[in-house]
Structure 1
Amino acid sequence: MLRDTNLAKDIIDNDNPQYSLDGKIEPMFYNEGNFPVKIFGFTVKPGGQFNAGFVNSKTFGTVDISFLAAEEPNNIKKIICVYGTYREQKNC
């Protein structure tokens, strides 16, 4: 059965020990920064991605996101989480 969904994204630019996945459909993290980041204990290199969901399923819980570089002017902290959300069904 197909369900209507919306495409959404979050931009993460700081450490977040409890980033919420609640209600996100197939969340995928992309490292758009210029140094590695740990997501749920996995190291994601610049340009890399991490799939935190399951096909056709809502995800619940949290993941720890930790940037692995010292604070320097040229460092870019940027993780993009792309996910779906179900559209509300309107009753006529």
Structure 2
Amino acid sequence: MSHLIDYIKVYLFGYQTTVHAHTIKQTEDNYSLEGKIAPRFHNEGETDVIILNITVKPGEMFNCSANTFFMQGNINIIMSDDRDKNKLVCIYNSLQEKKDC
């Protein structure tokens, strides 16, 4: 039911989605997905990354989304101790109220 309310807000009350990127360089025990829409993780580093017990090799992507729905909860992201070789980028959308011009 809450997702229906979100759709009503988007279409009737002037909301829009915006895209964001967040770079992660070290292990995150509780990376928050709260409010993210369609989060995708891109391993742009030189080392393997483990997300939800799945190994994501350099150059690979991990899709953690339920398209068009706001995510909730946290996930564990495990990276090597070498921060200089780690680079995981989370691309996601969020809902923003449109501003009048």
TM-score bucket of the superposed structures, by smaller chain: 0.7 to 0.9
1:14 equivalent in alignment to 2:26: yes
- Unaligned 5+ segments in structure 2 are 1-6
What is the match of residue 84 of structure 1? 93
Q: Does structure 1 conserve the Cα–Cα contact (< 8 Å) formed by 2:26 and 2:81?
A: no
Which residue is 1:46 aligned to?
58
Separation in 2, partners of 1:20, 1:71: 22
Normalised by the length of structure 2, the TM-score is 0.78
Indicate the RMSD between aligned Cα atoms, in angstroms.
2.1
Rg bigger for which structure? 2
Structure 2 Cα separation of the partners of residues 88 and 5 of structure 1: 9
Q: Which amino acid aligns with 1:71?
A: D
Partner of 2:3: none
TM-score computed with the length of structure 1 as normaliser: 0.85
Q: Which protein is richer in helix relative to its size? A: 2
Bigger strand share: 1
Matched, 1:71 2:70: no
Work out whether residues 18 and 93 of structure 2, in 8 Å CA contact, stay in contact via their aligned partners in 1: yes
User: Per-residue deviation at 1:89?
Assistant: 4.9
Paired-residue identity, %: 33
1:32 maps to 44
For the residues of structure 1 that align with 2:22 and 2:82, how far apart are their CA atoms?
Answer: 22
